[in-house]
Structure 1
Amino acid sequence: MIDFRFFLVSIAAVFLALAVGVALGAGPLKGEFDQQLRANVEQLGKEKDQLRDQMEALEQSDRYRDTFASTIAPGLLTDKLNNHQVVVVALPGADKGVVKNLADTVKASGGTVTGTVQVTAKWGDATNRQFLEDLATQLVTGDVTVPNDSTTYDRAGALLARALVTKDPKAVGQADSATPTIMGAFGEGDLVNAPGDLRRGDLAVVVAPHITPDTKPQEGDDVNDAWVALAKAMDSQSLGAVLAGDTSAASSDLGALNRLRADAKASSVVSSVDVADLPSGQIAVVWALLEQTQGKAGQYGAVGTTDGALPKLSDAS
């Protein structure tokens, strides 16, 4: 907001300066009009300087906040995810830096990252929905069940979750016979990209797309239904899932976090963090994962009505 105001003040100052110059060039100006123009130009110059100072102060404050969070992070993360294995699922448009930082934060908390899976835009493309439906039908396995009224995205999400996560302690961190088949088919369909040595985790972090002013709604507006369904599937077949992103994903009507939080049923089981691009938000993701293992869910961050900055963990956590 300050950047925009700074821009407006600068433009206004330029035009006023031009107006004064033109007026002076046409002949000597006298009287109150000339004095008023000069006073306006001087005032705009002062406001411009003040806004510049505010911008610099905010930048310094942001640097301090991030440095502080990074400094105290080890103490807030130590051993939080010991004995847990986490799969990171990056949705199309997710910031690569956020994806990497979240994986690193999981490791810093004592958790193991079983793999980072990239979902492609083709998964949520409404024009590709029938292909996804046909593929999910072909891949269905006996240990994956979904309600009769489930959508294409519910069924496909359940299958992907089957390949990536499990609640069975004996199966966590292990290669699974169904995983190569499911991931191979989704990979051949250009729906996901995943490492070949993928193992199943017991927790999942799903990283939401970053929304820009140029982001356009997809045909049928199905894309966020796909992402919420996938997050729910990851949650239902593991000890818990967190949908993480930056504030754009929660503040924009086109954001995946916005859609999740608007869905009472989904948000009652899947947690979300809308500041995952910040060190403090990455800590919140780890705490939200730990809260998930306790059978709880919450919405954390800076946008809208949330459950606070961090979950309130028990003393034993």
Structure 2
Amino acid sequence: MISYRHHVVSLVAVFLALSVGVVLGGGPLSELGRDDTPVSAHTKAQQQDSRAARFGDDFATAAAPTLYAGRLQNHAVTIVTMPGADGDVVSGIAAQIESAGGSVAGTYEAKPALVSASEKSLVDTLGSQLMTHLDDDVIPADASTYDRIGQLLGVAVSGDSVSLDEASSIRQSLAGADLVKSPEQASRTALVLVVLGGKDADDAILSGLLTGLAATTTGVVVAGDTGSGMKGDLHGLRAQPVADKVATVDSADTAVGQVTTVLALARSLKVQGGSFGASGSDGAVPLG
């Protein structure tokens, strides 16, 4: 599917060409480079693809409430944004969550240090310290660095295995270490949406974080843009074992992808895993 960025670049190019033509048309260079041939087949094909893409997005937006059938009614979703996540994508998905009858419990912003290999020592030390303040059975002692920090984040935003005070303490500690910025007001929920950013993260780090989140929540859905599903973070994630525990959706930079993401969230209430979107191996849309 052609991205909106491609549409914008194409439109800008057309407007620039028209403006240059106006300037040259009235001067001595008006006859230079004149091309009286009709619009090329290639340009027509691009225009048709653009119209088809808009139609798909318009259809998805209009059909979404019927497809959702209120399946997120009385369900709240916690959103975790990775570094570089597009705010418009996050807002678009949040609006679709509400259209499905759900709500957003809070948005957590993962900071670059959380997914930076050079900050592993910080992540490991903080995770070890925080574990000492929890009951022994909350997080396994042998959990790896990023699995452990993912579980800590998970119990803080959605788990019922820790008290409200313990959850608040974890959030404050993560914020103090500049690893995760928490919302001022948040309630704990069973569903977590992770929105990937434009900056590639280490596959092992991202996989560890998501493994931890999946271990402490009912369902996790990971959304990325069209490019991430082709060769970016989402593509790498789908090759990891954690792909059996979290659902992945690409093309979240389009309305079709955002609707698909919310359908995956509804599905994750009962079924975990699954690869959906333009390059998804389990089909374009999870309708079941």
Bucket of the pairwise TM-score, normalised by the shorter protein: 0.7 to 0.9
Question: Given the alignment of the two structures, is residue 78 of structure 1 paired with residue 78 of structure 2, yes or no?
Answer: no
Deviations 1:182-237 (A, max 9, x none): 111111111111212121111000001235xxxxx6xxxx6332222222222221
* 1:130 equivalent among 121, 125, 130: 121
Alpha-carbon contact 1:246-1:274 (below 8 Å) kept: yes
The runs of 5 or more residues in structure 1 that have no matched partner are 7-40, 212-216
* Structure 2 match to 1:102: 93
Question: Given the alignment of the two structures, is residue 113 of structure 1 paired with residue 104 of structure 2, yes or no?
Answer: yes
CA drift at 1:57: 1.7
Give the structure-1-normalised TM-score.
0.74
Report 1:164-313 matches (<5 A): 164-166=157-159, 176-210=164-198, 223-252=202-231, 255-263=232-240, 265-303=241-279, 306-313=281-288
Alpha-carbon contact 1:136-1:156 (below 8 Å) kept: yes
Aligned residues: 257
Alpha-carbon contact 1:288-1:297 (below 8 Å) kept: no
Q: 1:166, 1:180 → 2: CA distance?
A: 12
Would the alpha carbon gap of residues 59 and 84 (structure 1) be closer, same or farther in structure 2, given more than 3 Å must change?
same
Alpha-carbon contact 2:158-2:191 (below 8 Å) kept: yes
Would the alpha carbon gap of residues 45 and 242 (structure 1) be closer, same or farther in structure 2, given more than 3 Å must change?
farther
* Structure 1 match to 2:20: none
Deviations 1:52-98 (A, max 9, x none): 22222222222111111111112112311112221000000111111
Alpha-carbon contact 2:274-2:282 (below 8 Å) kept: yes
* Structure 1 match to 2:50: 59
Alpha-carbon contact 1:78-1:108 (below 8 Å) kept: no
The DSSP-based 3-state class of the residue aligned with 1:272 is strand
The DSSP-based 3-state class of the residue aligned with 2:204 is helix
The DSSP-based 3-state class of the residue aligned with 1:276 is coil
When Rg is computed on C-alpha atoms for both structures, the one with the higher figure is 1
Deviations 1:139-172 (A, max 9, x none): 1122532362x3211111111111011268xx9x
CA drift at 1:282: 1.7
The DSSP-based 3-state class of the residue aligned with 1:204 is strand
Deviations 1:231-279 (A, max 9, x none): 2222221111001111211211xx221122101x211111100122222
* Structure 2 match to 1:146: 140
Q: 1:296, 1:180 → 2: CA distance?
A: 27
The DSSP-based 3-state class of the residue aligned with 2:40 is helix
* Structure 2 match to 1:34: none
Q: Which amino acid aligns with 2:106?
A: G
**Runs of 4 or more above 6 Å deviation:** none
Q: 1:130, 1:117 → 2: CA distance?
A: 22
Q: Which amino acid aligns with 1:119?
A: A
* Structure 1 match to 2:26: none
* 2:59 equivalent among 68, 71, 75: 68
Percent identity between the aligned chains?
Answer: 30
